[in-house]
Structures are given as structure tokens and as C-alpha cells.
Structure 1
Amino acid sequence: MNEGEVIKKQQIFNEIERHLLNDEKPSIFLKEFFMENKDNFIYPFTMISDLQDVPQEPKHHPEGNVLVHVMMVVDEAARRRSLSKEKDILMWSSLLHDIGKKPTTKKRKNRWTSYDHDKVGAKMVMEFFNALNCTKEKLIKGVSSMTRWHMQALFVINDLPFASIGEMIEEIDIEELSLLTISDRLGRGKLNPSEKDKIVHDVNFFLEKVSEISGYKYKKIH
């Protein structure tokens, strides 16, 4: 990678981060950047733009492809940004949390699935930041961990065998994860008020279950 490419990628990174940390709706900039301007389709940012080619099961994601969902999640996260202790980690996680769906999405039994996209995505997050020569170790580790654990609330709520509360507690700030979790759950199409209320209830139930294991009382999400 020549010096010009390094500078261009750093400029893009800085511009994205500026919008993630300051905009009321970062998706306004991000949609134009990732969906309309093909000059921006350079690695590793293609790891994000490629998500517009990844379908999702309409039952769970009536909003459309993965990138459409991610844009909605980013805006939901921006609404909760002031509650975060690590705003850069939360906002980059909202953008990158489903990055693992590109290699894992397959049609099984006539429905779209993305098994292990959380684990695969955690590794891809590291690849993304390494390709930018990013030296923000706390950011890199934080976003990778948020991506790795962003499905845990669903597993815990539904008492699924994929839940791993003990390991999760050791690796991540649960209250920060809950901000990503609720943004992820609300960042989808056609939710009515009762469905939104249920999502808030479910995330708080997740926090209660984790509290029982950790012995720490986590703040409720509202």
C-alpha cells in the first residue's frame, strides 16, 4: 500500500468517525457514502458496502438487505450515544456488528440464515482495522468484542445453548453491550409500539439474567 492509499484510507476513516460521533442521523452521510459513491468502494470499506448484496429473512428483517439494517442500527445507536461511556466503540460497533454476515449468509431449509456471523464478524473487525493501520487498540478490541457478543441477549432470553454468560462478563461491559443490543433489535422495519415495548422488556430481562450470574446490578434500559 503506497503512501497515497494510506492517507486516503485514513481520511475516509476520520470522516466516517466524525459523522458517527456527531450526527443525529449518521445514516444520511453513510447511505450516500456506501450506497451511491462507487469511488469509495475500496478495501477495507468494501467489507461494509458489500453488505448491500446480502439478503436477510423478511420475517425478522422486513427492512431489506443487511446494509439497510445497519443504517437503521447506526441511527438507533446515535439516539443512545450520550448514555455510552465509550462512544466511539458503540458507534463503530453499530456500523460493523453484522460485518460477518457476508461470508456466513446461506439459504437453509428455504430461509436465509447467518450462523456464527457474530464470531466470524469479530475476526473481520480486526481485519478491518488492521487494514487501516489503526493503532487505537482499545477501540479495536472493544468493537471486536461487541461484535462477538451482540447476539448473546437473544441466546440468553430464549435460553439457547449458545449463551455463554460467564465468558461474556469477563470480556465486555454489559451495559455498553445492552446499548448495542437494543439498537440492533430496534433497527429493523415495520415495528409497532407493542413490539418495541417487548424489545425493551427483553433487553432488561437479559440484564437481569446476567445480574444473577455476575452479582452486579445493571442499569435498566428505557
Structure 2
Amino acid sequence: MIKAAIHVIRLLREQGHEALLAGGCVRDFLLGKEPKDYDVATSATPQQVIALFPGALTVGAHFGVVIVKHNHHQIEVATFRTDGSYKDGRRPESVTFATTEEDAQRRDFTVNGLFRDPIGDRIIDYVGGQADLNRRLLRAIGDPHQRFAEDRLRLLRAIRFATVLDFEIEPATWKAVCDHAEAINTVSAERIRDELIKIFLHPQRLRGFDLLVESGLMQQVLPEILILQGVEQPPQWHPEGDVFIHTRLMLSLLPQQVSLPLVLSVLLHDIAKPATFTVDETGRIRFNGHDKLGAEMTGDILRRLKFPNDVIEPTQVAVENHMAFKDVKKMRNSTLKRMMARPTWEDELALHRVDCLGSNGLLDNYEFMKAKAEEFSQAPLIPPTLINGRDLIELGWQPGKQLGIVLTAVQNAQLEGLINTREEALEWVQNHHKNSQP
């Protein structure tokens, strides 16, 4: 992609325009990382860019942004600009095309305010970004209160950059984040969601979690997490402490690469414990039904944050079934196979593993299920059915609820290895359900 960006820069310069790489790609280059994309900043107006690159996308032309296509790559080309007032805390009311230095001053953080000339191999730095990169420091450009008032999503972006870059947040910038945390509620749920995804999918997710809590942003975007603080648990099963400590510990135990439903199920698996907290007659703490209620709450929370159904549903499944693991050694093979055949199974097992490690440390049920997976690996977990409803109707059964019950019982017998052929299945029905036949 860098070749495509350089091609764009060369063509702009051939027409007499200034053109430089800008923003995150410069930061990542200086950190020795491969940038995910390359943005170009230029003195050319959007109209001049469009004229030079036929087929360019003009979705952001009002703000001086044009998407240029070259060799199947998309390069964002933005005109140097200054921004007018931000009445909605999201977008400027107007933009004015400006100089390179003025453009740098409108950006969010110093490490994102750098320019690079890839042809002359030089860095242009008007904001002290290189020094902050060397210090591993995230600092707002200019007045941090003004930067966050302009675009309140920058509050979460500060947490995200501190997380993924493993940078400290400069004290004045941090104070401004904390002071303005409540303003994140004016940002759309979709934009908040996207920043949370980037934070929690990153291997340093625990640091992001802590910064969200300490800044006050967690209280605004996921207040249910803070309600977990101080909710006691049975010490014999949870020597680590309350539900909040348990959840935080589980986050720290996840592998670096995780699916989004897995990390969300870790965050939310015990979300209903405060609502189901009771103490029985023996003095033991209980959370009866927290798995089922937790699945409902998980759906409500994720819908509030505009997560898509293909994330919400597997997360709910994992939350709803996380307590089933305590009984796996008592389950029949047919039940185990049905569990393991769920598309969410790998994430469910991973959730159980960190649930154990983040509490009593006992992995016997986890190891049992791993052994069962090996035992069952020689054949499909759910093989093709041996008989169907038509077969039963031919035996004189009538369509209805009882038909489904019998077919499920036949499949259970098949999963248990008691029957293996169609003939055996029909005989099994005659022997075991002859009194149930209508």
C-alpha cells in the first residue's frame, strides 16, 4: 500500500501541490510497525484531487477528504485545513483550507500530528510528536480541554491509543479526559462501540479496562461493570475476591488473540450477580439464575451499544451456559455431544477455562471436556439421523409433539452408541416407546 500512497504523492507534486503522509501511518513508521493504512495530506483542494484521480470517492469532500483508488488500494487524501466550531462535539461546522502547520495543530494527539515525506525521507513535526513518541507519552495537541470538546470521541481514543501503544497519558491530557468523561454520552453508540472493540480485542485489554474505570468513562459506557464492585462471592469458590476483581482477573488470563464474543462474554458472564445475590439459611452466598438473567442483560447491553446480532447471539449463548460446566462429569455422552456441537463451543470452553483460573484454579472439568473432545474426535459429534418422522408415520404414528420427543430420544440413543443403523433405530422405538404410540 505504501507504493500506492507514494504514487498519489508523486502525481500531486507533479501538479505543483504539496503532499505528505500524515497521521497514524507516520506514527507507526517511527515505532517500527507496519501501518494498516496510509493517509495523504495535501495543499490540493478536493476538486483538484478529484480532477487528478478520476473515479475518486467524494464522501468526505465537504471536510476536504477524498478517497483515491490505485492498484486495488484506497488512499485517503485530505486537504490541509483548520476546523471551525464543533457545536455537536463531533464534526466542525465548517473547514478552511490552510497550511501544513495549521493542519497539524487541529489534530488530536501529538503522536498523530506528524507528517512524513517518503520521497525525501524526512519527518515534519510542528507539535513535538517525535519527542512524545520517544517518551512513550500520549499528549493532546494544544489545550486538551478544547481538543476533547471539539470531538468527544477523542476521550475514548485517548484510552485506545494508550492501550494499543502502551503509552502513558500526559497529566494535563489525563485530567481533561477525566473532567470530560460524562460528555462521551453525546457520542453515537456506534462510535463508542467501535472504540471499545479496539480496546478489548487488543492484547493489552486489561490496561484499557483499568483506564476506562479510572477515567470515569466506564461509568458512562458500561456502568453495569462498576456495579460488580463490592459484590461478595463464596470464599471457598472465589478466594480472589468480589465479582469485579474476578472479572478483571479473567480478562488478564485471556490469550492475546481472542474472538469478540469471547472477550465480551468474559466481561458480562457474571453481570447479573448483583441482581441475584442472596444468602441462604446456612449463610452461603448464592446467585441462583444469574446465568439466565445474565444472558438477557447481555443482550440488552450489547443492543444498547449497537452490536450486530452475529456478536450478540454467541455472546449470550456463552453467558447463558457458563454454569453448565460444573455438571459435565454427570452428563450423558449425548448431552455432552450436543454441547460440543454448538458453534460457540470453543469460546464457551475458553470462557470456562479463565473462569476457573480466575477463581479457585480447578481445571478438572476443563480437562475432562478436553479428553472428551479427543474421545469423540473420530466421528461427527452429531451424525446424520437414522430415522425421521416419515418412518414413524409408516409405523402408525400420528404427526404431533410426541413424534418429535421420540425422534430426539432415538438420536440420544444414537449419540450414546446404543444404536448405529436404521433397522436398530426402528427396533429401538418398538422396544422403548411402544406404550407411547398414539
Q: CA 1:53/1:215 → structure 2, altered by over 3 Å: closer, same or farther?
A: farther
Unaligned residue ranges in structure 1 (runs of 5+): 218-222
C-alpha distance in structure 1 between counterparts of 2:210 and 2:292, whole Å: 26
Identity of aligned residues (%): 23
Deviation of residue 172 (structure 1)? 4.2
Identify the residue that residue 209 of structure 2 maps to in structure 1.
Answer: 30
Deviation of residue 152 (structure 1)? 1.5
C-alpha distance in structure 1 between counterparts of 2:368 and 2:264, whole Å: 25
Identify the residue that residue 220 of structure 1 maps to in structure 2.
Answer: none
Deviation of residue 72 (structure 1)? 0.9
Q: 1:100 aligns with which of 259, 263, 272?
A: 272
C-alpha distance in structure 1 between counterparts of 2:186 and 2:313, whole Å: 22
Q: Which has the larger radius of gyration?
A: 2
C-alpha distance in structure 1 between counterparts of 2:304 and 2:357, whole Å: 31
C-alpha distance in structure 2 between counterparts of 1:203 and 1:216, whole Å: 21
User: Higher relative contact order by CA 8 Å / sep ≥ 6: 1 or 2?
Assistant: 1
Q: 1:205 aligns with which of 365, 368, 371?
A: 368
Contact kept, 8 Å, 1:56 with 1:65, in 2: the verdict is yes
Q: 2:238 aligns with which of 54, 61, 72?
A: 61
Aligned residues: 196
Q: 2:286 aligns with which of 113, 119, 123?
A: 113
C-alpha distance in structure 2 between counterparts of 1:61 and 1:74, whole Å: 16
C-alpha distance in structure 2 between counterparts of 1:174 and 1:123, whole Å: 19
Q: Which amino acid aligns with 2:228?
A: L
| TM-score between the two structures when normalised by the length of structure 2 | 0.40
Q: Higher helix fraction: Structure 1 or Structure 2?
A: 1
Structure 1 ranges of 4+ moved more than 6 A: none
Q: CA 1:168/1:102 → structure 2, altered by over 3 Å: closer, same or farther?
A: farther
Please state whether the residue corresponding to 1:56 is helix, strand or coil.
coil
Unaligned residue ranges in structure 2 (runs of 5+): 1-89, 91-183, 382-438
Deviation of residue 106 (structure 1)? 1.2
Q: 1:185 aligns with which of 351, 356, 362?
A: 356
| TM-score between the two structures when normalised by the length of structure 1 | 0.74
Deviation of residue 184 (structure 1)? 0.9
Q: Give the CA RMSD over aligned residues.
A: 3.1
Q: CA 1:89/1:160 → structure 2, altered by over 3 Å: closer, same or farther?
A: same
1:139 to 2:311 alignment: yes
Please state whether the residue corresponding to 1:41 is helix, strand or coil.
helix
Deviation of residue 183 (structure 1)? 1.0
Contact kept, 8 Å, 1:6 with 1:132, in 2: the verdict is no
C-alpha distance in structure 2 between counterparts of 1:153 and 1:107, whole Å: 23
Q: Which amino acid aligns with 2:206?
A: S
Q: Which amino acid aligns with 2:348?
A: L
Contact kept, 8 Å, 2:233 with 2:285, in 1: the verdict is yes
C-alpha distance in structure 2 between counterparts of 1:206 and 1:71, whole Å: 25
Please state whether the residue corresponding to 2:234 is helix, strand or coil.
coil
Listed one character per residue, the Cα deviations across residues 93-129 of structure 1 (whole Å, up to 9, x for unaligned) are 1111111212112111212111121111111100101
Identify the residue that residue 431 of structure 2 maps to in structure 1.
Answer: none
Deviation of residue 180 (structure 1)? 1.0
1:151 to 2:323 alignment: yes
Contact kept, 8 Å, 1:122 with 1:144, in 2: the verdict is yes
Q: Which amino acid aligns with 2:345?
A: I
Deviation of residue 203 (structure 1)? 0.6
Deviation of residue 12 (structure 1)? 3.9
1:5 to 2:176 alignment: no
C-alpha distance in structure 2 between counterparts of 1:55 and 1:11, whole Å: 34
Contact kept, 8 Å, 1:10 with 1:132, in 2: the verdict is yes
